[in-house]
Structure 1
Amino acid sequence: MLATPSKHTAGSGTESRGQQHISKYRWTICSLLFFATTINYLDRQVLSLTWKDFLVPEFHWTDSDYGTITALFSIFYAISMLFAGRFVDWMDTKKGFLWAIAIWSAGAVLHAWCGIATAGIINGDWFVGFEGAKESLETVSNVALVTSTSVTLFIFARFVLALGEAGNFPAAIKATAEYFPKKDRALSTSIFNSGATVGALLAPLTIPFIAHAWGWEMAFIVIGLLGFVWMGFWIYMYKKPEVHPRVTRGELEYIQQDLVQHDPVTEPTIAAPKKISFASCFKYRQTWAFALGKFMTDGVWWFYLFWTPAYLKDIYGMDSTQSALPLFVLYVITLLSIIGGWLPTFFVERKGMNPYEGRMRAMLIFAFFPLLALLAQPLGTITYWLPVIIIGIAGAAHQAWSANIFSTIGDMFPKRAIATITGIGGMAGGVGSFLINKGSGVLFEHAGRTNMQFAGFEGKEAGYFIIFSICAVAYLIGWRIMKWLVPKYSPIADQ
């Protein structure tokens, strides 16, 4: 049996009461992970909601410039994810998460000074303030120099943001594995993962209005500071469940029920477990299944996240405040993703499936909903609300898919390897995101410049139809690859 700390020692009155009461502190930890993910997505959304209305007039960016910035963010994120998981496994959950959110919050705030830095590099105006930087750049006749300098500086700020944000999901998945038994991990993951939707939901209701009231720079600063506030709560509230005074003996036994059942996926309870080396992770088909599933689908979500505000601007002429309501409705629909945590539990408890089989069955169902994206552009000729609703449904399907694909790691790998495998999959997802974001920017600029025609659409409408079509089929392809690599439940036992 698993040895437990002295606060749960046999014979104590505390234990007797604890055995009769299962506390629910694990859901408090889940709420902290939810808020961290919300802040994570708020920080990465500031750029997408300000670039068309504020940064293009100031820095003269094109779609390709923006595509380059978002694509490189994706590749920075991908590379960082590869090491972030290992870093979190090394630092452990509490310290690893603190480092991650501190770095990404600093990176978010750093964006605000890119305008001043551009004016300083070009004109030597380093101490002019935000408005002074705008006035300084208006005097520059070489527009290309302003564009290239500002793009470079924003790329650097995105690098710092990506470096920190890469730690969010490895740390959150690891915390979930520490605080929840396997049968509850999809639900808890879907709850904290819905923070991505809530962050995207709050972004259009806050960021454009902050930018219009106080300047685009303050939007980056105000949103970026939220991460530092979260750090105070994490320091005070997070400890391992076996040593946390708020976790009763009953709750600890519930959390560790997989250990009691001697599940081969979990660590030995007496002997110190051997480490799984980084290189050895790649010899498992389970690693490749997770990584390729992320590669095929992560870019879809990031495309919707980064390009939907631009889509409403390009196709329907909406500025950032006018698009606030459609984007709000879109992400409200995305909240339906919470079903992603319930459905596999239904398959496991009611249908008798093992966790992996239940998750894969649920993921197949979710993979069909993105096919609606094939109709987004055709139906958009009727009203913009139809593509908004369709993108919302596709986004909900993605988040439901995402919660379950993350949970497959805990199904098949020991806890000590979870953050590392999460990082590997995140890197693969980032590479897919790089390709779709850079490709979208180039395609949209080309389509608009040449009035490209495709499938009855012209210009940028044709470009968006092509990308929507790619997004529509990505999940079924990803599911088929995963099922081919790991056709049945096959956990990695300790070596």
Structure 2
Amino acid sequence: MQGNDQPAATTPGPGIGRYRWRVCAMLLAATTISYIDRQVLGVLAPFLQTKMGWSELDYSSIVTAFQAAYAIGLLGAGAVIDRFGTRIGYALSIGVWSLAAMSHALATGVLGFAAARFALGLGEAGNFPAAIKTVAEWFPQRERALATGIFNSGSNIGAIVAPLLVPVIAAYWGWQAAFLFTGVLSASWVTAWLLRYRAPDRQPRLGAAERAWIGTQPPGPSVRVPWLHLLRHRQAWAFAAAKFLTDPIWWFFLFWLPKFLHAEYGLDLLQLGPPLIAIFLCADAGSIAGGWLAGRLIRRGWSHARARKGAMLACALAVVPVMFAAKAGNLWLAVALVGLATAGHQGWSANVFTLASDMFPRHAVASVVGIGGFAGAVGGMLISTVVGLLLELTGSYTPVFLLAGSAYLVALLAVHLLVPQLQPARLDDPQPFPEGNP
């Protein structure tokens, strides 16, 4: 069965049930915790850079350590989750990152922080492959972009919660306590996941009507599709290209925005909260709106390919004005431009993630997401190094914002050229790039 399998029912009647949305809520919680863990360092960066005496390149190296581990982890995370299933695979992933988050409290210098970030990256590499595979198992195709947008909004919620809580925790109990707090959150989620989650074909709380709407099929966790086989297909390259070109922009927003606001507008640790919260509230809205837009266009009669790429184009255009953020000259104008860009990115991301389940069968989805995540992490490593060097040499954020504003349109062009109709991959075809010749 290909990734575009259709549900047995055609419309979700009023009595169909909503258990699948409870599962989506658990994915939302996991992604939120993941981004709280990631954002703690970003929020504390101006403070820690002064306290520890880091240079711009030192901070860049610490950020790159996370992204390198994230890339390495994605080499195997998707395959492990496809092999063992989302219940066990997700629990292992979050267990590792829970311990890694708490280990930051023991760091005393660049090497210690880099080691802790490396371990965190290895654990968090499993989050998106597991979440996307869960969505593919629990939702029919027409609902996947919305479900993905909802759980992916956790990346923004986490980025909102972090500047609310981290400065307060650091002020009262020290910066180490902020890292310990996030580790406890992760461990709590693992316990709830293992106690409550089962695959849809094994979930006794799932009603017959909702099961029919989902079109539940056994996910076949024993089937593993090697990366080399997946990379024969242009669909995998399209997904990887979209991630490689646009994930680095989100990494920049996540890890460098507090430093940008501190450097350009003199904001201290406690003053960073309101601008960051406003920016990531915009991102949260964009994540859900991007998924909703694709579903709305499908309901209006658009083809899946046209609706998906139409939503991606709208999101890409929303990012373009961020080119002017470095020259805004006013804090809240800069916040508005960056907020619009983060909204565009998250709407884009909801649709890009859904491409994997649109074009690949369920048993290969986590591996495909792993390939894309690896490409995105490699791109993130590159941009971290470039940003560190640019700031060390010039102190200017202008070139990076120019890159951010153009990346999404370039990525959409790459997707269109590779898979103009978003054709499902035929994994049993031994020929490279057999489908969808323009």
The structure 1 residue matched to 2:187, chosen from 220, 228, 243, is: 228
CA contact (8 A) 2:132 2:353 kept: yes
Query: Alpha-carbon deviations, 1:118-148, whole Å to 9, x = none?
Result: xxxxxxxxxxxxxxxxxxxxxxxxxxxxxxx
**1:206-355 residue pairs with structure 2 within 5 A?**
206-256=165-215, 275-337=224-286, 338-353=288-303, 355=304
Look up the match of 1:414: 361
Matched with 2:23 is 29
Give the AA of the match of 2:17: S
The 1-side partners of 2:243 and 2:345 are apart by 11
Distance across 2 between alignment mates of 1:364 and 1:56 = 38
1:492 corresponds to: 425
In structure 2, relative to structure 1, the CA distance for the partners of 1:57 and 1:267 (3 Å cut) is: closer
Query: Displacement, 1:493?
Result: 3.3
CA distance in 1, matches of 2:178, 2:57: 23
Amino acid at match of 2:237: W
| 8 Å CA contact retained: 2:170, 2:176 | yes
1:267 Cα offset (Å): 7.8
Which residue does 2:435 correspond to in 1? none
1:40 to 34, 39, 46: 34
Match of 1:164 among 114, 123, 129: 123
- Greater shift after overlay, 189-198 or 81-90? 81-90
Distance (Å, rounded) in 1 between the aligned partners of 2:283 and 2:16: 32
Deviation of 1:494 after TM superposition, in Å, equals: 5.1
What SS does the corresponding residue of 2:300 show, helix, strand or coil?
helix
Q: Relative to structure 2, which stretch is displaced further, 467-476 or 55-64? A: 55-64
Residue aligning to 1:134: none
Distance 1:273 1:314, change over 3 A: closer
TM-score between the two structures when normalised by the length of structure 1: 0.81
Q: CA deviation at 1:325?
A: 0.9
Alignment of 1:7-406 (within 5 A): 21-53=15-47, 55-115=48-108, 150-256=109-215, 275-337=224-286, 338-353=288-303, 355-379=304-328, 381=329, 383-406=330-353
Alignment partner of 2:153: what SS?
helix
Shift in Å, 1:321: 0.6
Q: Given that residues 82 and 222 in structure 2 are in contact (C-alpha distance below 8 angstroms), is that contact kept between their aligned partners in structure 1?
A: no
Give the Å deviation of 1:288. 0.4
Alignment identity in percent?
A: 41
Paired letter, 1:160: A
Give the SS at the match of 1:351: coil
Tell me if the contact between 1:20 and 1:250 (Cα under 8 Å) persists in the aligned partners. Answer: no
Q: Indicate the SS of the match to 2:70.
A: helix
User: How far apart, in 1, do the equivalents of 2:45 and 2:337 lie?
Assistant: 24
Distance in 2 of aligned mates of 1:373 and 1:20 = 42
Encode CA deviations 1:297-338: one digit per residue, 9 max, x unaligned. Answer: 000011011001001111111111111111111111212211
- Given that 1:291 and 1:424 are in contact with CA atoms closer than 8 Å, whether structure 2 keeps it comes out as yes
Q: How does 1:433-472 map to 2 (within 5 A)?
A: 433-447=380-394, 460=395, 463-472=396-405
Amino acid in the other structure paired with 1:351: G
Matched residue SS, 2:202: coil
In terms of Rg, which structure is larger? Answer: 1
Query: 1:21 offset after TM fit, Å?
Result: 4.0
After superposition, the C-alpha distances for 1:464-492 in whole angstroms (9 at most, x for unaligned) are 11100000000000000111011113112
Amino acid at match of 2:92: W
Residue 334 of structure 1 aligns with an amino acid whose one-letter code is A
CA distance 1:64–1:494, change in 2 (3 Å): closer
Contact 2:49 2:59 in 1 (8 A): no
TM-score of the aligned structures, taking structure 2 as reference length: 0.92
The amino acid of 2:18's aligned partner reads K
Task: Tell me the CA shift for residue 357 of structure 1.
Answer: 2.7
SS in 2 for 1:352: coil
CA distance in 2 between partners of 1:489 and 1:159 (Å) = 35
Task: Report Cα offsets for 1:87-146 as digits up to 9, x if no partner.
Answer: 11112100000000010111000000012xxxxxxxxxxxxxxxxxxxxxxxxxxxxxxx
Cα distance, 1:407 vs structure 2: 0.3
Query: Aligned partner of 2:61: which letter?
Result: T
The two structures, once aligned, show a CA RMSD in angstroms of 1.8
Instruction: For residue 84 of structure 1, report the CA deviation from its aligned partner.
Output: 0.8
CA distance in 1, matches of 2:235, 2:89: 25
Unpaired runs of 5+ in structure 1?
A: 2-18, 116-149, 260-265, 448-459
Question: What is the rounded CA distance, in whole Å, between the counterparts of 1:357 and 1:253 in structure 2?
Answer: 27
